[in-house]
A = this chain, B = another copy of it.
Amino acid sequence: MSEIDAARVFQALGDATRRDMVERLTETPMSVSALAAPYDMTLTAVGQHLAILEAAGLVTTEKQGRVRVCKADTRGLSVLQNWLLDRRPPLERMLDRLGDSLDES
């Protein structure tokens, strides 16, 4: 049910505007207009970026009246974190797994 894959997350964060949006939203939630303010592009374009971020599990939005409030979503970030853990050098991974199995015993 997760639906979130590393592909989408990386693609989403590959764009400077979207990365900046995520950075700002991890500081504080805000409306689409507030989010759009710093960028020299139309609201439509910002809405399109937002859709990509939502699909990647990096942002959630909720409509309150005529305002859409955007918040950072940690799910996309944790997909990233897991991908990173899997790409650590094989030796480190082996030690990790050893550690895990000791923890379980």
Contact = CB atoms under 8 A, between A and B. Distances in A.
A33 interface: no
Contacts of A13: 10, 14
A77 interface: yes
B88 A77 contact: yes
A81 B104 CA distance: 26
Contacts of A16: 7
A68 interface: no
Nearest to A80: B84
Given A6-B19, A19-B7, A84-B81, A26 B74 contact: no
Contacts of A10: 10, 13-14, 19
Contacts of A90: 26-27
6 contacts: A6-B19, A10-B13, A10-B14, A11-B14, A13-B14, A14-B14
Interface of A: 6-7, 10-11, 13-14, 16, 19, 22-23, 26-27, 72, 74, 77, 80-81, 84, 87-90
